[in-house]
Amino acid sequence: MKRTMSKRSIRGAWLAALLLGSMQACTNLDELPKSDISPGTFFNNEAEALAGLSGVYAQLRGAFPGYCCAYYALNEISTDEMVVPTRGQDWYDNGRWLEIHEQGWTPGSPSTLQDINSAWVNSFTGVANANLALSALQSRIIMDSVKQAGVIAELRALRAFYYYQLMDLFGGVPVVTTTDVAQRDRVSRDSVFKFIEAELLAARADLPRTRDAANNGRFTKGAVDAILASMYVNAGVFTKDAGQFSAVAYNSCTGITVAGGLSACQAAKDRADSTILSGVYQLADTFVKNFRADNNLSPENIFVVKFAPRDGLGFPFLQTTLHYNQFSTTPWNGFATLAQTYQAFDTLNDRRKSIFLVGPQFNVETGDTVCIRPGCAKGAPRLVFTPTIADVRAATEGEGVRIYKWPYDPNHVAQNNGNDFAYFRLAEMYLIKAEAELNGATGAPAPLALLRTVRARSFTTDTLSSVTLPVILRERLFELTFEGKRRQDLIRFGQYTAAWQFKTAGQPYLTLMPIPQSQIDANPKLVQNTGY
């Protein structure tokens, strides 16, 4: 008995010790992510630096329909170039699309909370990712120092371009170059302008003039020049906060001094010339070469968003506009252009009119006749696109001329086409130069010769005989339709708030987008744009 007792006691003591021992153990709660990366342990070598750089470039895609429809869509649908009619039960989407076209947004309205918010967040996400990589690369050397300086220059130029988008849509925004998430004040639009300008100029020094084919799409000196040229020609708007520029008259670049003490108009002309005379770029022999799936070979494109015919990497614009039966991944039958814009091309014998689809339709891939329901053979009615949209809130499937500037990619994977999208191509540099010269910049040749150079490939006989500012605006419409420029142009020319199809005349404050109420909630230091 006694023996048993002692055995029990020993067993009991052993168990108690086990219990106590295990209580003290295992309280380590440190986390180490397995399938994701902690930024603090990253950016150690060239490959990791390039991966970070790639992530900042990738954000450029975010401006397009199919990714999120932000910067690009706002710049087009809010103008006379594009409208998204409600087609039966399709494309109502909370009234967002028509709200954008009618410029009916308010700080808390559906298009603001959805699309304008997307634009705000997308551009800032690019800034944040650039800051993450920059904070690592600017603090220590991890690779060949020349290469590292080049990567840093690309990151700074990209960040500047995201700020360019924000400045364009919203005016002054918080300028941030660190990685901490914090509430910050807006700075003036002019300060943002100067920040972008300084960053681009600093980056330019470390960027190459050209890139080899394997690095096509990465920043060059020419890309920096093109962005600067655009900023300078828009300086009458971009350096001014709401109310300081005119919503109804041309906002000239004259009288504004920029880096180097130049007048903005002269600087615009100089930067345009820098690309025109670089020897790196030349106008493509045909207009359409700039937009085809193989447009990475176009010598005209200066700064593009790269797309590839791969899942999640492709240019999905065709989906937004083509009819359901016109392409092999069923498109969405939405975006169309206005009759007035389509008909503006009618006065000219302009080959650029081929960017529209109108009349009886074919499958863009197969060339087969297309009917609005499958089964033409059974008597299904032919799909016909008409310029007229009788009721934009209750449109039919065939109403509205469609946009086919970027032909489908024969190698497309579902909706992913490989066409690159050019934010800047050489033709625009000619137009900027011409506009700068009309505004007093000294340069040669004269505006008429510049425009005729661009138009040569699109006309058999060019009858253009004189160039005025309205001619520049019209030429930019013809040359750059659907290239995301129209809102900028209409604002610069004082026509953005005018009335056009499906839209009444609006107030001047609409030339800046509202800051989404949800963003003001998140950062109460943001002061709303005047008028909202």
Partner 1 sequence: MRFVRHAVPVFALLSLTAFPLTAQNTGTVRGQVVDSTTRQALAGVIIQVEGTQLQTASGNDGSYTLASVPAGSVLVRATRIGYAPQRQSVTVTTGGTAEAQFALTPQASLLEAVVVTGYGTQRREAITGSVSTINPAQANVGVTTNVTQMLSGRAAGVDITLNNGEPGAGSQILIRGGSSISNSNDPLYVIDGVPINNVATEPQGMSGVVGTPALPRNPLNLLNPSDIASITVLKDASATAIYGSRAANGVILVETKKGTGGGGPSIEYDSYAAASSPARRLDVLDGDEYRAYVNPQFVTWRSDSTACAGRPACATGYADSSGGFGGIKPYALGTANTDWERAVTRTAVTHNHNLSFSGGTEDTRYRASLNYMKDDGVALSSTLQRIQGRLAGTHRALDNRLRLGVNVTTSRVNNTYLTFDNTGGFEGGVFQNVAIFDPTQPITFTDATGTHFYEGGGSSVRNPVALAKQLIDIGQTTRTLGNATAELDIAGGLTGQVTVGLDHASGGRQTYYPKESPIGDALGGGVARLVDLNNDARTLQTLLTYRRESGDRSFDVVGGYEYNKFKSDTVTASGSGFFTDAFTFDKLSAATTRNSSSGAEQSVLVSFFSRANFGYKNKYFLTAALRYDGSSKFAAGHQWSSFPGISASWHMSDEGFMQSSPFSDLRVRAGWGVQGNPGIPAYSSLALLGAGGGGTYTWGDAPQTGVAGIQNPNPDLKWERTAQFDLGVDFGLMSNRLTGSVEYYIKNTSDLLLSVKVPQPAAVEERLENVGKLRNRGVELSLDALAISRPSLTWRAGITFAASRNKVTNLGSRGTITSGGVSGQGQSGQVSQLIAPGLPLGTFYGPVFLGVDANGKQLFACSTPNTPASNCSNGSTINGSGPGAGDYQVIGNANPDFTLGFHNQITFGKLDLSFLIRASVGQDVFNNTALVYSTKGNALQGKNFLRPALTDGIGLHEPAIFSSLWIENGSFVRLQNITLEYTLNLPMLRSVQSARVYVSADNLLLLTGYSGLDPEVYASSGLASRGIDYLSYPRPRTVTGGLRLTF
Element housing 273 (H / E): helix 264-276
Computed on alpha carbons and rounded to an integer, the radius of gyration of the chain in Å comes to 27
At position 389, the amino acid (one-letter code) is: I
**Would you give the distance in Å from CA 461 to the centre of its chain?**
34
How distant, in Å, are the alpha carbons of 67, 291, 354, 457, 476 from that of 461?
41, 23, 17, 10, 19
Pairing of strands 384-385, 421-425: unpaired
The residue among 188 and 523 lying less far from partner 1, judged by its C-beta, is 523
Minimum Å gap between C-beta 186 and partner 1 is: 11
Pattern 385-404, binding to partner 1, x per CB under 8 A? -x-x-xx-xx-xxxx-----
If one counts every other C-beta atom within 10 angstroms of the C-beta of residue 258, the result is 21
Binding residues with partner 1: total (CB under 8 A): 124
Q: State yes or no: residue 505 binds partner 1 (CB under 8 A).
A: no
Residue 324 has a CB neighbour count (10 Å cut-off) of 16
- Please, which residue, 48 or 273, has the CB nearer to partner 1? 48
Please report whether residue 86 would count as binding partner 1 according to CB under 8 A: yes
How far apart are alpha carbons 285 and 296 in whole angstroms? 15
The answer to the question of residue 367 lying near partner 1 (CB under 8 A) is no
Q: Which is nearer to partner 1, 195 or 324 (CB)?
A: 324
Q: How far is the CB of 188 from partner 1 (least distance, A)?
A: 18
Q: Does 410 bind partner 1 (CB under 8 A)?
A: no
Sign of CA dihedral 220, 222, 225, 229: negative
Residues 435-474 interacting with partner 1 (rule: CB under 8 A): none
139 is a contact residue toward partner 1 (CB under 8 A):
no
Quote the least distance from Cβ 59 to partner 1, whole Å.
Answer: 7
Compare residues 93 and 241 and give the one whose CB is closer to partner 1: 93
Residues 178-197 touching partner 1, rule: CB under 8 A, are 181-184
The DSSP element (H or E) to which 357 belongs, if any, is strand 356-357
- Of 454, 440, 436, residue with least CA distance to 270: 436
User: Of 84, 100, 132, 223, which one interacts with partner 1 (CB under 8 A)?
Assistant: 132
Residue 125 in the binding site for partner 1 (CB under 8 A): yes
Figure out which of the listed residues 66, 92, 202, 259 binds partner 1, where binding follows CB under 8 A: 92
Quickly list DSSP for 168-190: HHHSS-----SS---------HH
- Distance in angstroms (rounded) separating the CA atoms of residues 396 and 345: 24
Residues 19-58, mask of contacts with partner 1 (x by CB under 8 A): xx-xxx-xxxxxx-xxxxxxxx-x-----x-xxxxxxxxx
Q: Round to whole Å and give the CA distance between 399 and 406.
A: 20
In the block, tokens 């359409």 appear at 288
Q: Is 383 in the site for partner 1 (CB under 8 A)?
A: yes
| Piece in contact with partner 1 (CB under 8 A), picked from 139-147, 347-355, 372-380, 470-478 | 372-380
Site mask for partner 1 (CB under 8 A), range 261-300, x = bound: -----------------------------------x----
Residue 214 binds to partner 1 (criterion: CB under 8 A):
yes
Site residues (CB under 8 A) for partner 1, limited to 101-120: 104, 106, 108-110, 113-114, 120
Question: Considering only residues 483-502, where is the footprint of partner 1 by CB under 8 A?
Answer: none
d(CA 377, CA 502): 37
Exactly one of 10, 260, 282, 381 binds partner 1 (CB under 8 A); that residue is 381
Cβ burial of 89 (10 Å; 0-12, 13-18, 19+) is exposed
Q: Which two tokens stand for residue 214?
A: 């394997």
- CA 253/CA 238 separation, integer angstroms: 10
What is the closest distance, in whole angstroms, from the C-beta atom of residue 501 to partner 1 in the complex? 12
The tokens describing 152, both together, are 């840093």
Region 331-360 residues binding partner 1, contact defined as CB under 8 A:
332, 360
Closer of 414 and 438 to partner 1 (Cβ)? 414
Task: Report the residue number, 376 or 448, with the smaller CB distance to partner 1.
Answer: 376
Q: Smallest gap, in angstroms, from Cβ of residue 321 to partner 1?
A: 15
